[in-house]
Structure formats: C-alpha cells, structure tokens
Amino acid sequence: MEAGFKYLAQASLSLFIAYANEDSMILTLLMKHLSPLVRSELITLYTDQASTTSIPHERELHLSTADLILLLVSPDFMASEYLYDI
C-alpha cells in the first residue's frame, strides 16, 4: 500500500426492490446487472414479490431498514392494489 492511502472498508448497502409480479423478467435482468455489486459485497439485495404469499414481517423489516428502496414502476405496478396498499 502506498504511503498516504488508507484502506477504507466499505459497508454493504441494503437495497430493497419492489415490483409487480408481471415485471419479474425486468427484475431478473436488473439483478444480473447488479450481480457484480452483490458479488463484491457492496450491496445486499432484497426483493418484494407483489403477492399475498410474502411474509409481511420480513418484508416490513427489509423495507424499514433498507438503505435504498427501488420501485420498478410500470403500468402493472401502478395498477396493483397490493402495491398501492403496501
């Protein structure tokens, strides 16, 4: 290591992604693009499936503690009563 440079440990950011089930292919593509950041432990991904099978307390925990929240906004997302209610 060169003099004057310090190694800074980077904390992993948690990223919560909410999307409509109809947009699962877009989510898959996005996750491929984000995989280098996940692999290098710069981010931790959590996703929310827009269905009633999601475990509410886990979803709420990840949503309330996420550093970043990404909404995959689409016509299906906007039309989803479930996502509107959440």
Domain locations in the chain?
Answer: 14-85
Q: Which two tokens stand for residue 50?
A: 């827009």
pLDDT classification of 34: cutoffs 50, 70, 90: very high
Which segments of 1-86 does DSSP mark as H helices, in order? 24-39, 56-65, 75-79, 81-85
Range in 11-25, 36-50, 69-83 the model is least confident about: 36-50
Range in 4-8, 41-45, 65-69 the model is least confident about: 4-8
Q: What is the pLDDT of residue 1?
A: 46
Q: What's the pTM?
A: 0.74
CA gap 23, 2 in Å, rounded:
47
CB 83 within 8 A of CB 77: yes
Inter-CA distances, 24 with 5, 33, 43, 61, Å: 43, 14, 20, 22
